[in-house]
Amino acid sequence: MSWLTGGSIPKGQAEPAPGSKARQGQSFTHSTDGCTHRRQVRFCAIRPTPGKGESIWDRLAHQHPEWMPSGNGDVAGDSYHKYKEDVQALVNISAKVYRFSISWPRIMPTGDITSLNQAGIDYYNNVINELLDNDIQPLNQTGIDYYNNVINELLDNDIQPLVTMYHWDLPEHLQDLGGWVNPILVEYFEDYARVLFTEFGDRVKWWLTFNEPLVFSYGYSIAAVFAPAVDAPGVGNYLASATILKAHARAYHLYDEEFRANQDGRVSITLNCDWSAPKTDSDEDKAAALRSNQFTLGIYAHPIYSAEGDYPAIIKEQVMNLSLAEGRTRSRLPELGEKWVNYIRGTHDFFGLNHYSTSLVSPSTNGTTLFGLTDAQVLQETDPNWAVNGTTMVPWGLRALLNWVKEEYNNPPVFITENGLGQSSKELQDNNRITYYKLYLNEILNAMNEDNCTVIGYTAWSLIDTLEWSSGFS
């Protein structure tokens, strides 16, 4: 899969989207950082590296190669051995920020503090230092060594690291305990976070606890294709969500209590949302679009970013009613409880947001099931008129999403941590992707300049070609 990376947009190069009021020549200010991004599972050599433990994606890929026919992540982009080349690619495009994730089983092969891997820590330290030395901001002992190398390489190139603690590669040993549906993982994740803050926090100032929990919790509601492939739809994904929210909050409070005073960094989470717009102007379609956005973004954003905390009322009511209709005596969505609602609320220093596209939404009892959206009871469609050179592009959807975040959560500072276009083409003259970035970046400018949305950074997905999870390299 071919991907273009990006940095800050030069003045005058962001063309307006169709119907936009944007002025030619508007540009991002110095306060909005341009950066690129990669993930551990999809770019690094996964298994044949010193000290690394097995993850749930290692297990799935090797037990079910038929689910990933175009290849697995054993080597992938091989950033484990080529991180210096990656940093030079960042330097060549004048990137100032580099987002990457740390692999839990590389740092702690079994997920337990007693299995610390120093080589992994050293690797990430080297990468971070190499970035910083090139003026780029990065929002078993062997694993520790590896990350020290990455961090140091970044710092040596004056590139700032933006580090994701968890990007879906749970140590298989912890999955054997039940994975994210088991609340004990809150304790394990706190131990892991403490190691990362201790080993790397003197240089890493931007942290994301989790990437797209909506997506990886889906692995607890589907029997195939997506790790860990647990067949518990409508139950497993909600149990996982409660554990993930608690683990995020525990890591945030840990940083507050033990590290913030000396390290002066920022901690948050990154959530994904492809915008849902009503298919028509009818009240039914508007209500369906609201449900879709709440089940997609609000399920994690509302407990963390809203003034009142907890899951959105619309989700609690919907899941309770459906659960009772199924003959259950309680909701499939677990109660967080007052203690946890208060503990989770406000655990953010910025709003991490991933966005790729937009759908038109209408009510349906046989609609979208992806990522556990069955309970939203909506049908998501695209408009054929959205195609640009055969590729669906809906840049106004990102602007609408930024405005929704502003209104729902009191205009938090948003760091767009993923945005991009994936295609199988290997063409270097990549006009579709260039057009995509121009249109979407222009709508970010519109949201900032015309709507007063607060956007502090942008990450183009991604630096190099990637293993696209169960889709492999196809």
| 408-464 residue pLDDT tens | 999 999 999 999 987 777 777 788 889 999 999 999 999 999 999 999 999 898 776
Q: What is the mean pLDDT of residues 115-120?
A: 83
- pLDDT at site 49: 57
Q: Residue 173: helix, strand or coil by DSSP?
A: helix
Residue 22 has pLDDT above 70, yes or no: no
Q: Where is 84: in which H helix or E strand?
A: helix 79-92
Q: Residue 360: helix, strand or coil by DSSP?
A: strand
| 249-284 residue pLDDT tens | 999 999 999 999 999 999 999 999 999 999 999 999
Q: Where is 59: in which H helix or E strand?
A: helix 56-63
- Please report, rounded to a whole number, the percentage of residues in the chain having pLDDT higher than 70: 80
Q: How buried is residue 145: exposed, middle or buried, by Cβ count under 10 Å (0-12/13-18/19+)?
A: buried
Helix axes 313-325, 283-293, angle to 10 degrees: 100
174 or 116, greater pLDDT = 174
**222/382 Cα distance (integer angstroms):** 24
- pLDDT at site 261: 99
Residue 399 has pLDDT above 70, yes or no: yes
* β-strand partners of 118: 141
Residues 6+ apart with CB under 8 A from 160: 33, 96, 97, 98, 131, 132, 136, 137, 138, 139, 154, 205, 206
pLDDT category, 45, cuts 50, 70, 90? very low
- DSSP, residue by residue, 108-172: STTSSGGG--HHHHHHHHHHHHHHHETT-BB--EHHHHHHHHHHHHHHTEE-EEEEEEESS--BH
Residue 92 has pLDDT above 80, yes or no: yes
Residue 383 has pLDDT above 90, yes or no: yes
- pLDDT at site 31: 39
Q: Residue 352: helix, strand or coil by DSSP?
A: strand
Q: Cα angle vertex 351, ends 422, 190, to 5°? A: 100
Residue 79 has pLDDT above 70, yes or no: no
CATH number given to 33-471: 3.20.20.80
- Which backbone phi and psi does 434 adopt, to 5 degrees? -60, -45
**456/474 Cα distance (integer angstroms):** 33
pLDDT category, 213, cuts 50, 70, 90? very high
Domain ranges of the chain: 33-471
71 or 355, greater pLDDT = 355
Q: At 364, which amino acid appears?
A: S
pLDDT category, 228, cuts 50, 70, 90? very high
pLDDT category, 64, cuts 50, 70, 90? low
Q: What is the mean pLDDT of residues 348-357?
A: 98
- Catalytic residues, by residue number, are 418
* Under 8 Å between Cβ of 174 and 185: yes
- pLDDT at site 69: 47
**95/421 Cα distance (integer angstroms):** 19
